[in-house]
Amino acid sequence: MSDDLDILLAQPLGAIADDGFSARVTAKVERTAWWRERATLFAPVAAVAALVPFLPGEELTAVALKLTPVFAQSGAIAFALAVLALTLTFERRLSEA
């Protein structure tokens, strides 16, 4: 009995007429995934773009000028940034594959 059941379950099911229901559901899922992908990409960009006019430019420039030599002279920070860049690159390559 168990062998017969295994054989039946291993066989593919025949086509079932569903008047295009499966195709509609698949298309809707693909559209939703496309919109979700775009929203997760562009929502943070839009949020930053909306905040940029309200940021104190002179103060940020002064802080950046003060911290740039510190970052440039620190081997540990340079190494950490290199590891972060390589990790992000590797993750992107894996997600594309």
> Rounded to 5 degrees, what are φ and ψ at 31?
-65, -45
Question: Does residue 35 sit in the same domain as residue 65?
Answer: no
Q: Is the domain of 42 the same as that of 75? A: no
Dump pLDDT digits (tens) for 47-79: 888 988 888 888 878 887 888 787 778 888 888
Whether residue 49 sits in one domain with residue 73: no
Q: What are 19-40's pLDDT values in tens digits?
A: 889 889 999 999 999 999 999 8
Domain region containing 85: 56-97
Decide: pTM greater than 0.75.
no
Q: Two tokens at 87? A: 């990790």
Give me the number of domains the chain comprises.
2
Tell me, yes or no, whether 62 and 80 share the same domain. yes
Domain match, 4 and 43 both: yes
Residues 1 and 40 reside in one and the same domain: yes
Residues 6+ apart with CB under 8 A from 71: 77, 78
Residues 60 and 36 both lie in one domain: no
* Residues 22 and 65 both lie in one domain: no
Residues 30 and 51 occupy one common structural domain: yes
Does residue 4 sit in helix, strand or coil? helix
